[in-house]
Structure 1
Amino acid sequence: MEIKIEGDTSETRTVRKYEEVEQEIPLSPAARVFHAPKFNCYVITVVGFKRKIEPHVIIDGLKHTLIRHPRFSSKLVNNGKKKRQTQSWVRTNVVVEDHVIVPDIKTQNKENANAEAFLESYVSDLTTVPLDMSKPLWELHLLDLKTSEAENVGVMKFHHSLGDGMSLMALVLACMRKTSNPDELPSLPHKNQPSSRSSRLTAGSSSDSRFLWLVMVLWSAIMLALNTFCDALKVIATTTFLKDTETPIKGDFRLSKSKRMCLVHRTVSLDDIKLIKNTMKMTVNDVVLGVSQAALTQYLERRYGETKKKVGEEDVESKRNSNNMPKRIRLRSAILVNLRPNTGIQDLADMMAKKSKCRWGNWIGYIVFPFSIGLCDDPLEHLRKAKRIIDRKKNSLEAVLTYITGKFIIKLFGVEVAANIIKRALSNTTMSFSNLIGPIEEISFYGHPITYMAPSVYGHPHALTMHFQSYMNQMTISFTVDPTVISDPHRLLDDWEKSLQSIKAAVQERGS
Structure 2
Amino acid sequence: MAAEEPTMKMIRIKAATEEEEPPPVSPFSRLFQSPEVDSFIIVTLGCGIRLNSTTIIDGLKLSLINHPRFSSIPEMGRGNGGKPVWVQTKVNVEDHVFVPDIDPDMESPDQFLEDYISNLTTIPMDMSKPLWELHLLQVKSSVAESVGVFKIHHSLGDGMSLMSLLLACTRKTSDPEALPAVSAKKNHVGPSSFLGKIWWLVAGSWWITRLVFNTCVDLVMTILTICFLRDTKTPIVGGAEHKSRRFIHRIISLDDVKIVKTAMKMTINDVLVGVTQAGLSRYLSRRHDQETTSKSQQFPKRIRLRGAVFMNLRPTTGIKDLADMMAKGSKCRWGNWIGYVLIPFTVGSEADPLEHVRRAKYTMERKKLSLEAVFSYAILSLTMTAFGLKALEDLTRRIFERTTLTFSNMVGPEEEVSFYGHPITYIAPSAFGLPHVRTGLTLHFQSYAKKMIIIVAVDPTVIPDPHQLCDDLVESLSLFKSAVLERGSSHTDVKKLQ
In 1, are the aligned partners of 2:161 and 2:316 still within 8 Å (CA)?
Answer: no
Which residue of structure 1 aligns with residue 356 of structure 2? 382
Within the alignment, does 1:157 sit opposite 2:138 as a pair?
no
Counterpart CA distance in 1 for 2:159 and 2:16 is 34
Q: Summarize the alignment of residues 28-427 of structure 1 with structure 2, pairs less than 5 Å apart.
A: 28-79=26-77, 85-106=82-103, 108-111=104-107, 114-193=108-187, 199=190, 202-206=191-195, 209-252=196-239, 255-256=240-241, 258-308=242-292, 311=293, 313-315=294-296, 324-427=298-401
In 2, are the aligned partners of 1:164 and 1:363 still within 8 Å (CA)?
Answer: yes
How far has the Cα of 1:36 moved from its partner?
Answer: 1.7
Q: Closer, same or farther in 2 for the Cα pair 1:17/1:204, shift >3 Å? A: closer
TM-score, normalising length from structure 2?
0.92
In 2, are the aligned partners of 1:251 and 1:430 still within 8 Å (CA)?
Answer: no
Structure 2 SS opposite 1:333: strand
How far has the Cα of 1:363 moved from its partner?
Answer: 2.0
Counterpart CA distance in 1 for 2:58 and 2:325 is 18
The letter for the 1-side match of 2:344 is: P
TM-score, normalising length from structure 1?
0.90
Q: Deviations over 1:71-94 (max 9, x none)?
A: 00001112289xx75211100000
Counterpart CA distance in 2 for 1:40 and 1:221 is 39
Q: Summarize the alignment of residues 12-31 of structure 1 with structure 2, pairs less than 5 Å apart.
A: 18=17, 20-22=19-21, 24-31=22-29
In 1, are the aligned partners of 2:136 and 2:147 still within 8 Å (CA)?
Answer: yes
In 2, are the aligned partners of 1:265 and 1:476 still within 8 Å (CA)?
Answer: yes
Counterpart CA distance in 1 for 2:421 and 2:273 is 35
How far has the Cα of 1:204 moved from its partner?
Answer: 2.3
Structure 2 SS opposite 1:145: coil
Within the alignment, does 1:493 sit opposite 2:470 as a pair?
yes
Identity of aligned residues (%): 52
Counterpart CA distance in 2 for 1:451 and 1:251 is 34
Aligned pair partner of 2:433 in 459, 462, 478: 459
How far has the Cα of 1:211 moved from its partner?
Answer: 3.9
Which residue of structure 2 aligns with residue 7 of structure 1? none
Which residue of structure 1 aligns with residue 495 of structure 2? none
In 2, are the aligned partners of 1:239 and 1:424 still within 8 Å (CA)?
Answer: yes
Counterpart CA distance in 1 for 2:131 and 2:243 is 20
Counterpart CA distance in 2 for 1:398 and 1:19 is 37
Structure 2, unmatched stretches of 5+, are 1-11, 490-498
Q: Deviations over 1:117-171 (max 9, x none)?
A: 0100000110011210000000000001110100000100000000000000000
In 2, are the aligned partners of 1:262 and 1:481 still within 8 Å (CA)?
Answer: yes
How far has the Cα of 1:19 moved from its partner?
Answer: 6.2
Q: Closer, same or farther in 2 for the Cα pair 1:174/1:210, shift >3 Å? A: closer
Structure 1 SS opposite 2:321: helix
Counterpart CA distance in 2 for 1:392 and 1:15 is 50
How far has the Cα of 1:440 moved from its partner?
Answer: 1.0
Q: Please, which moves more after superposition, 427-436 or 328-337?
A: 328-337
Counterpart CA distance in 2 for 1:211 and 1:20 is 56
Q: Considering only aligned residues, what root-mean-square deviation do their CA atoms show, in Å?
A: 1.8
In 2, are the aligned partners of 1:442 and 1:449 still within 8 Å (CA)?
Answer: yes
How far has the Cα of 1:17 moved from its partner?
Answer: 6.0
Which residue of structure 1 aligns with residue 8 of structure 2? none
Counterpart CA distance in 2 for 1:494 and 1:99 is 35
Residues matched between the structures, number:
474
Q: Deviations over 1:90-116 (max 9, x none)?
A: 00000000000011112x1134xx101
The letter for the 2-side match of 1:110 is: M
Counterpart CA distance in 1 for 2:212 and 2:178 is 44
Q: Deviations over 1:327-350 (max 9, x none)?
A: 211100012222121210000001
Structure 2 SS opposite 1:385: helix
Counterpart CA distance in 2 for 1:128 and 1:214 is 55
Q: Deviations over 1:342-389 (max 9, x none)?
A: 210000001011100000011221111110111000000000001101
